[in-house]
Structure 1
């Protein structure tokens, strides 16, 4: 199973959307608005779903979980670097665990030492946009989208010397203009299969309950750092404990010639593994 898949035909959606709209125009002309309007709404509903659903593959490939025969889970931490980063790195070390940090470019520029420390401790570094425009990422045009993705990529490469190979869309939203810069930069999009809404929910037990329900071999776990509720480190601690209790381990996939997953570190001959967290 090839995990690291960059978009191959980023403009393919045009060739699907244009004939669909022409067909609806013909339907409207031939049968009137009572036939044409519902068809138009249905088509735009599909396009909206493709934009807002994190696991939707309408505009390009997205990885939402590892193969079920994987012997661990992929721990991913979004929105850093932040004040929480040093504590998270110590916590991961204490558990013998590894993670991939999806970093925001302008935040990385403000704290380059933390970015280098993440890499030095053997964790993955990945692209999570340059400014994290949470409210409008889904609606960015082609130029703005390219600036967000390319800006972060250049910043992280300048700090670490290595170009990330994974990208996570802000809030998981990915409109038709995401795929072209991903293809040009060799980035593959990552979603998740286990989440607890920890970026906004500070109730540790409630968050852990939601994540634990989806913890299984091959799960991609979505976590955050620097959340306003101030309990991100506590939540990650609880997740690591749950992972250990289930007998799983953490994985940071590495690039291999056979297409095994990739993290933000230089190419590896085989997946790097954390301890029995």
Structure 2
């Protein structure tokens, strides 16, 4: 079995969310008819929430297939680093090189356009890159419509392809959110959505020991680890160093899918 086959994430039928929505509407109507207005209104408020919840669950495949673990990885983990390129990138590349580790950098298109030399350095060092939107509109990503999602993902894809000569194959949702319109865009660009199984919330204010205490228990064969560039000076490098040391102590090697 090839590595690509172990990472295959079968898509749910395209009609499934819409069929589920029609079924939910029918259930609401039935409850209203059988139990009266009070219960009908309660169902009307509850049922839509069942369709909103998957939007905010990073590893939910309800609206688009998602990889949350690296199947068939053996004693390897997949390090994924979001939100670059940034001033942290050179230090992270140097650290990965010292540990003979590889990672996937999920890049923001606008930031890549401002620092194309760092994008090329990532690829030259043997790492892979992924699509993390064009401008990272984190407050509204979950609510974007088809045109806006297509523009955000498409512009990033074009920008990264122009810099490296090859379009990315991996995609990570902004803040992990998704909605009913993203699957079609990913299919059009041949992208696979990547979630995670280990995170330390380093993207929010947190001390390095606290971040590592959250991630380390989740380090296991096939783990997909979520890390971030940015934050306080030196934070991203310290977190990455701690993760690599903890992985080595467990006999795990950081690598990327082929």
TM-score if structure 1 supplies the norm length? 0.86
Unaligned runs of 5+ in 1: 255-277
Measure, in 1, the Cα distance between the counterparts of 2:168 and 2:243.
Answer: 25
Which of 182, 188, 191 aligns to 2:186? It is 182
1:158 aligns with 2:162: yes
Partner residue in 1 for 2:137: 133
Match of 2:256 in 1: 252
Segments of structure 2 that go 5 or more residues without pairing to the other structure are: none
What CA distance in whole angstroms lies between the structure 1 residues aligned with 2:194 and 2:47? 25
Cα distance in 2 for partners of 1:152, 1:77 equals 16
Other-structure match for 1:105: 109
In structure 2, the residue matched to 1:198 is: 202
Question: Which has the larger helix fraction?
Answer: 2
Rate the CA distance shift 1:140–1:6 in 2: closer, same or farther, 3 A.
Answer: farther
Q: How many Å separate the matches in 1 of 2:16 and 2:55?
A: 15
Query: How far does residue 71 in structure 1 lie from its aligned partner after superposition?
Result: 1.5
* Count of residue pairs the alignment pairs up: 254
Point out the more displaced range, 136-145 or 63-72.
63-72
Match of 1:79 in 2: 83
User: What's 1:33 paired with?
Assistant: 37
Separation in 1, partners of 2:214, 2:77: 15
Instruction: Tell me the secondary structure at the aligned position of residue 51 of structure 2.
Output: helix
Deviations 1:3-60 (A, max 9, x none): 2437464453122212321331343244323222232333222212210010111112
- 1:52 to 2:53 alignment: no
Runs of 4+ residues deviating >3 angstroms: 4-12
Given that 2:6 and 2:71 are in contact with CA atoms closer than 8 Å, whether structure 1 keeps it comes out as no
Task: After TM superposition, give the deviation of residue 96 of structure 1 in Å.
Answer: 0.5
Please give the per-residue CA displacement for 1:208-240, whole angstroms capped at 9, x wherever unaligned. 010001000010000000125651111111111
1:99-147 Cα shifts (integer Å, max 9, x gaps)? 0000001110111110011000000100111110111111111111111
Contact 1:6–1:186 (CA<8 Å) still a contact in 2? Answer: no
What is the deviation of 1:247? 1.1
Instruction: Name the Cα RMSD after superposition.
Output: 1.7
Partner residue of 1:169? 173
